[in-house]
Amino acid sequence: MRRPLQYLAINLLFCTPLSYLPRVKHMKIVRTKKELQSELHALRSQGCTVGLVPTMGALHEGHLSLVKRSTEENSATVVSVFVNPTQFNDKNDLAHYPRTLEADCRLLEQAHATLVFAPSVEEVYPEPDTRHFSYPPVDTVMEGARRPGHFNGVCQIVSKLFDWVKPDRAYFGEKDFQQIAVIRAMVADLRIPVELRPCPIVRETSGLALSSRNTLLSPAEKLTAQKISQTLFASRDFARTHSVRETADYVTGTLNACDGLRVEYFEIIDGITLQPVATWDDTDYIVGCVTVFCGERPVRLIDNVKYKEPTPTC
């Protein structure tokens, strides 16, 4: 039994849906769609609800926070570990992407994942995926403008995973802020019956957003990279007394002044439409999204900060 007895007792007392649901004791690792579907069939026939956490592996606490949330909200959690070639517009980036499946599985077992789906490229793409996804304006700005084909590749893999797993809920990190907007558009377009659950960014104590790409930074570069989140956080105070334009210039100027950092873009946008805002009064959801090249290689890092957030409704 994974959950402490006390928790189980509370659940039984209040009869929350999770309390009746079976919990799978041992995590399984599957490589093929066929195995995946047979495991899912067994879970569903026991009445399990299924949460999906799509990842490219090289897992860290950011990924694990998504897994944790899924295990809290579903009786079974499927984690996919697949470095999706169709979302890499830079072949060099794909070649250097860290691959650590064994260590990932150890972490996922500790995090109480139910199933790990780690397919080969041939399993996912037995033939080239010729589907074309287009959701302007959310997929054409920022990352969409700089990484041609990236979001098309993301939609290809996520739509396949949604189709194979048919999750009740799917978990995505707000670190990839634009990705969530694009997937939301795809889910609406294809009428996929899944609840999307955005999860907050997990950071190191220094503020640096956790990323699989951080492993590619030298210790000195990692120190430099801390400046990214520090500047974003400082810009929230700066924004109280300055315009959107001045705040954008402050962030870009501060980061570009650091040796070893080069800003690719910093945009202050509406959190839903992802369109640039001109003033702080334009909308009630305002986010600053940045992409910075860091260090020798260089490593491309993304981060974002919320300047204004709508108050959650029940």
Residue 212 binds to ligand AMP (criterion: CB under 6 A): yes
Give the Cα separation of 52 and 172 in Å (integer). 9
Residue 231 binds to ligand AMP (criterion: CB under 6 A): no
Contact between residue 135 and residue 77 where contact means Cβ atoms under 8 Å apart: no
Structure tokens at 233: 């956080």
Residue 173 binds to ligand AMP (criterion: CB under 6 A): yes
DSSP code per residue over 133-173: ---TTTTTSHHHHHSTTHHHHHHHHHHHHHHHH--SEEEEE
Plot region of 279 (φ>0 → left; ψ -120 to 50 → alpha; else → beta): beta
Options 56-64, 115-123, 216-224, 266-274: segment touching ligand AMP (CB under 6 A): 56-64
CB atoms within 10 A of CB 120: 10
Residue 113 binds to ligand AMP (criterion: CB under 6 A): no
Contact between residue 78 and residue 51 where contact means Cβ atoms under 8 Å apart: yes
Of the candidates 80, 211, 214, 254, which one interacts with ligand AMP according to CB under 6 A?
211
Least distance (Å) from ligand AMP to the CB of residue 17? 25
Of the candidates 52, 78, 186, 202, which one interacts with ligand AMP according to CB under 6 A?
202
Residue 56 binds to ligand AMP (criterion: CB under 6 A): yes
Least distance (Å) from ligand AMP to the CB of residue 93? 12
Helix, strand, coil distribution of the chain in percent, nearest 5: 45, 20, 35
Of the candidates 27, 50, 52, 66, which one interacts with ligand AMP according to CB under 6 A?
66
Active site residues: 63
Residues that bind ligand AMP (CB under 6 A): 55-56, 62-63, 65-66, 172-173, 175-176, 199, 201-202, 209-212
